Amino acid sequence: MRRVEPCPSLAGVVRVPGDKSASHRAVLLSALAAGESTIEGLSPGLDVVSSSQIMSQLGATRRDFDGVVVIEGPSQGLRASDQPLQCGNSGTTIRLVSGIVSTLEGHHRLEGDRSLTRRPMDRVAIPLGLMGSKVTGEGPRVTPPLDIVGSRHLRGIEYRVLAPSAQVKSAILLAGLYAEGLTTVHEALRTRTTTEDMMRLAGIDVASVAVDAGRSVTLTPARPAAHAWRVPTDPSQAAFFCVLGLIHPHADIEVVDVENSPERIGFVTVLSRMGADLVGRAGESGVTLRARSSPLLATEINAAEIPSVDEAPILTVAAAAASGVSAFRDMGELRLKESDRFEGSMALARLLGCRVWSEGDDYFVEGLGSADAFSPFAINAGLDHRFVMSSAVAGAAGHGCDIDGSDTVSSSYPGFFDDLGSLR
């Protein structure tokens, strides 16, 4: 149990860790390439450690120097391991690694923690099966542990991803690197482009065309080249400190060098619409966001504005401090994250003292007008790092909280409580 005390004022500068998505891809693409790649700014989160350990099991080597990670992919390519591949809490690891091991001859077993074993893998099992690998798990939603029979003879496919997901798109593209023929993924909503952008830097031919609100991505198979990666900082982590700065009554917080890409920075538009004093200043390594105490107004947020909906829990905390009723629309995907974030976001707002309700995939939060009106509360984070951080922000801005299971913050942001403490 961790106690978060309220604090009279907050000020300072935070640099959040390296982007989790880019960190996973840097590790995986480096392990696939022949020769040495270097990675600067790798996320220290345990999710990325899981990806890295699995790549070592499959034959890559890793050395750590002062702030730089060196990964060397074997010249003959990765090969199956006879031990299970432990994915821990990480959906990104299990889905992306499924794509990679689908291309490696042999049997692969992928395991995860209690949170991961309830997450659906049918969304990768189906397309990877069409390419020629065999992915099986528990029940109709193919939950982990997964057994995968990989093949050197995959076929490229043209596939329409039903529920927009960067992880699913990436699993297919990673498998497509070693398939015969082109692989095309159509997505109805533009999800983050980390995989495509980083594959291009590794010399892969990936073409993207925007189609309405979505896009089509076509990949020509080839082995990625070694690269010197520089991982930008994580916008989804920056969102916690932005909301803290806005809803705390006496705060002035800068979050420096935040990655600025359209699929990741939607939370800034949402908060600005709520009346936030949130100013961005472009710099060489990203945008610096300055968040100062602001009275917030309720808004309507559609999932399309924050693709992957990672920021919904912390925006729920912002809505709880706002005046009026905020609507969170089309948020069904929240149910399938590290925990059921649809129910969890509503439960957190309820603990803060808000009236909340849902209709289908929409939920509504009647804000209290300020964080000063938040109730003190106790919460179990349920193996979900984003509820640890969202709760801590609400507790620090309001009247404190007790968080059970706060250690799970290490899956993405081991230094979160130190960075929070530095602002007091």
Query: Phi and psi dihedrals of 385, rounded to 5?
Result: -55, -35
Residues 100-139, interacting with ligand S3P (CB under 6 A): none
How far is 61 from 120, CA to CA, in rounded Å?
31
How far is 143 from 179, CA to CA, in rounded Å?
25
Comparison of 32 and 351: residue with beta carbon closer to ligand S3P: 32
Residues 309-368, interacting with ligand S3P (CB under 6 A): 310, 333
Q: How far is the CB of 154 from ligand S3P (least distance, A)?
A: 21
Comparison of 151 and 193: residue with beta carbon closer to ligand S3P: 193
**Token code pair at residue 288:** 């610096």
For 228-261, b where at least 16 C-beta lie within 10 A, e where not — what string? ebebbbbbbbbbbbbbbbbbbeebbbbbbbbbbe
Write down the catalytic residue from 310, 362, 384, 419.
310
* 277 included as an active-site residue: no
State CA 87 to chain mean position distance. 15
Whole-number Cα distances in Å, 39 to 7, 189, 257: 37, 30, 17
Tell the burial category of 298 from Cβ atoms under 10 Å away from its Cβ (0-12, 13-18, 19+): buried
Comparison of 333 and 366: residue with beta carbon closer to ligand S3P: 333
Q: How far is the CB of 166 from ligand S3P (least distance, A)?
A: 3
Q: How far is the CB of 304 from ligand S3P (least distance, A)?
A: 12
Query: Phi and psi dihedrals of 88, rounded to 5?
Result: 60, -125
Among 92, 93, 133, 294, binds ligand S3P (CB under 6 A): 92
Residue with tokens 């929409």: 362
Residue 335 DSSP class: G
Q: How far is the CB of 134 from ligand S3P (least distance, A)?
A: 22
Residues 270-289, interacting with ligand S3P (CB under 6 A): none
Between 157 and 176, how does the x/- string for binding to ligand S3P read (CB under 6 A)? --------xxxx-x------
Q: How far is the CB of 384 from ligand S3P (least distance, A)?
A: 11
Among 43, 191, 288, 299, binds ligand S3P (CB under 6 A): 191
**Number of other CB atoms surrounding residue 205 within 10 Å:** 12
21 binds ligand S3P (CB under 6 A): yes
- Site size with ligand S3P, rule: CB under 6 A: 12
**What are the residues binding ligand S3P (CB under 6 A)?**
21, 24, 92, 165-168, 170, 191, 308, 310, 333
Catalytically active residues are: 310
